[in-house]
Structure 1
Amino acid sequence: MIKLSRIIAPLFCIFLFASCASKKTGDLSYLKSSKALVESFPKLNVYQPTKSKNNPVVIFIHGGYWDQGNKDIYGFLGRNFAKKDIVTVIPNYTLSPDGNYDTMAKEVASAIQWTYDNIEKYGGNSHQIFLMGHSAGGHLIALVATNPKYLKNSDLIKGVILNDAAGLDIYSELKENPPTTFHHYNTTWTADENNWKDASPIYFLSEKTPPFYIYVGSKTFSSIISQNKDFVKKLNKYQPTVKINFLPKKHIPMMSQYLFPWNKHYKEIIEFIDLHK
């Protein structure tokens, strides 16, 4: 009991302090329409600092094999960023098999547009919007930031932070391992190879691509490591200084490390934001 209390007490203090330094507005509607096979649309949460306005904004997209996950799991990220004067928007999106990659990417684009149109009400600067995503969420933000069909105005995005992003070249991966019912991949990607390429951010890099900042775990899945390397190699044609920041972690700890507000990578991300806002 003594050991457990020593763990719980500091975490409770962290949560209490973060809660006082931030305000959550939950379950806001951001979609007017969707092709998802569900009756109710996904919503989003906003975390804002309580004592500052006109702050930079991070839109975080969660991972989970494109068929798992929920915005409410990641309140710790929103509160920790808000405590550091970053407004954070965390949307849900339609998961497979109720939607495929295109449905998800369109919803992410809608969340970005909603943020641009509304974030000033929550203390954010609509001209300083950054995207952050882990795993499948990293894929979705990279896709929306690069494939021109998703955003009419890609200038809305000032920068992209990838955290152990998956699926950056899903085309090459599925050519070797065609989609099956595993995690509903047959629905997420379909059987059409044209869709696989359409879903792969690596094929849409250009001089218009917003700045990227990239973390990858050195102990993560080999496909994530190899695809991020290929992605950065091609991205360097347009952004020669971008590199992979390797961390000695597995895939899940790459996200769970942000439970702690003193994690040094918050500072690195904020430095990236300050450089490009």
Structure 2
Amino acid sequence: MTALGDRLDQIKAEGRSALIGYLPVGFPSVEGSARAMQEMVAAGVDIVEVGLPYSDPVMDGEIIQLAAESALARGTRVSDVFTAVRAVVEAGAVAVVMSYWNPILQYGPARFADDLLAAGGSGVILPDITPDAGSGWAEVAATRDIDTIHLVALTTTTERMHLTCQASSGFVYAAALMGVTGERSSIGGGVEELVGRARDAGAPRVCVGLGVKTGEHAAQVARYADGVIVGSALVRCLADHPDDLEAGIAALRATTRELAAGVRGHV
């Protein structure tokens, strides 16, 4: 079992859900993003999704797209993701990379996996690759004991649900809403049922993302999911203070603490 699976099981044994926070590397800078990730960990994030900026982020909402565009404009490279992964692991959290397939393909899947492992990373979330895509990533990851995390949605068929859950390790990412990432006023209906379907289909663990932005949201999802994934609400903390990293990090700490209180049942 990887560090990701171990951490999720430890948290479950504590009687709570994990808080998983997403930030893209390179926003507002490589060094600034690495520091922001460490600050999230200090404020209560258990697992960090290190986002790899990409020029065609079909699943990402406006705030994450803007952050990715800024990171790319500043010259952020694929290799910078490993700097952030190291920072997360040094801070005491588990790191997984969230990436579209093309950057990994261009970098070289085996090379990417080796560099991720060397940095201490535990897994990769691939939002645009299905288990039957024939990419070859699953074989590369399996030989290095790296978790591959696939997504399921409210519209996922029974056949596809079984295929995806059987092919995923670490956890299955359950998309709470249809469409792109972003903050919502409420969590969509049917999500608890989606988590149950994924578990019935063999998912080792199920974490829920898309739309979570408050401690109340986090507490709601934590009742039935192994992990609560938050992205846009955290990225916005930095985006709202583009010229003041300290102010952005202060906002990030406050939001993270609220979310952490939610998964720990204190909201």
**Normalising by structure 2, what TM-score?**
0.40
Rg larger in 1 or in 2?
1
Structure (1/2) with the larger strand percentage: 1
